[in-house]
Amino acid sequence: MGESLDNVILKVLETKQPESMKELVHFVQEQVSASLDDITREVKNLQQKGLIVLEEPVTPIKNRFFHTLSSKKDIWFWVTISLAILAFISIVFIPEGGTPLSYLRYAFGFILAAFLPGYCLTETLFPKKSAMDEIERFTFSIGLSFAITALVGLFLSFSFGLTLTTALVTLGLVVIVLALIAFKRKSRAEE
């Protein structure tokens, strides 16, 4: 009769020192005929008994940063930054008037003023997805955007002067800063 599955797993861990669960399963399946579910179940049993310890691989901080920026769960960050940049480009380079492109200018300008600042602040204040559902986030984002845009306009009218350029630059900076803060808070909330 062959060795028990738990003995094979312990032997593989001791002799071959696999670096991942996938590698462990491969090594164990070379020695015994066992399914992935059986091996996973036995590894969990061994972990619960305290015979093995599973650890997450440690990646260097530099690689972790770029991995975090490129993960699918953080696509909101890139969409937000892209929309802010597109709004800036469309407002600066598309002339105001009756051209069909001017509607793009209006659409991106509306998104920049009426959605993005509040969305970034909402993501900053509530970094966990479980804190609010999508409808609440959307509604909160619009309300906060109007408040932030009004405060930016009030600030600009008493300081630098309220012009299209100052409003565009200030709102763009507010969106980018809030998006970066939200990104940082969301990644800390996931740890």
The answer, yes or no, to whether residue 181 has pLDDT greater than 90, is: yes
Residues 91 and 22 in one domain: no
Tens digit of pLDDT for each residue in 85-123? 999 998 888 888 778 888 888 899 999 999 999 999 999
Question: Six-digit token pair at 50?
Answer: 């305290």
Residues 18 and 87 in one domain: no
- Mean pLDDT lowest for which of 42-46, 135-139, 175-179? 42-46
Who contacts 189 (Cβ-Cβ below 8 Å, separation ≥6)?
127, 128
Q: Looking at residues 52-80, what average pLDDT do you find?
A: 69
Residue 55 within a domain:
no
Q: Which is nearest to 8 in space by CA: 20, 38, 19?
A: 38
pTM of the model: 0.63
d(CA 28, CA 11): 9
Domain that holds residue 140: 61-190
Q: How many domains is the chain partitioned into structurally?
A: 2
The DSSP secondary structure of 85-133, one letter per residue, reads HHHHHHHHHSPSSSSHHHHHHHHHHHHHHHTHHHHHHHHHH--SGGGS-
Asked whether residue 90 is domain-assigned, the answer is yes
Closest CA to 170 of 91, 104, 102: 91
Query: 56 lies in a domain?
Result: no
Q: What is the pLDDT of residue 44?
A: 85
Residue 3 has pLDDT above 80, yes or no: no
- Residue 56, pLDDT score: 67
Do residues 23 and 96 both lie within one domain?
no
Is residue 127 assigned to a domain? Answer: yes
Helix (H) or strand (E) holding 134: helix 134-158
Residues 100 and 14 in one domain: no
Pair 111, 132 in one domain: yes
d(CA 185, CA 74): 12
Please write the tens of the pLDDT for every residue from 117-165: 999 999 999 998 888 999 999 999 999 999 999 999 999 999 989 988 8
* Residue 63 reports pLDDT greater than 70: no
Higher-confidence position of 2 and 36: 36
Residue given tokens 């070379």 in the structure block: 30
Does one domain contain both 120 and 178? yes
pLDDT digits (tens, 9 = 90+) for 6-34: 888 888 888 888 877 888 888 888 888 88
Angle (nearest 5°) at CA 40 between 34 and 44: 135
Domain match, 44 and 77 both:
no
Residues 17, 75, single domain; the answer is: no
Residue 54 lies in a domain: no
Q: Is 170 inside a domain boundary?
A: yes
83 & 38 share domain? no
Q: In angstroms, rounded to a whole number, what is the distance separating the alpha carbons of residues 70 and 95?
A: 34
Contact call for residues 171 and 149 (beta carbons, < 8 A): yes
Per-residue pLDDT at 1: 45
Residues 111, 20 within the same domain:
no
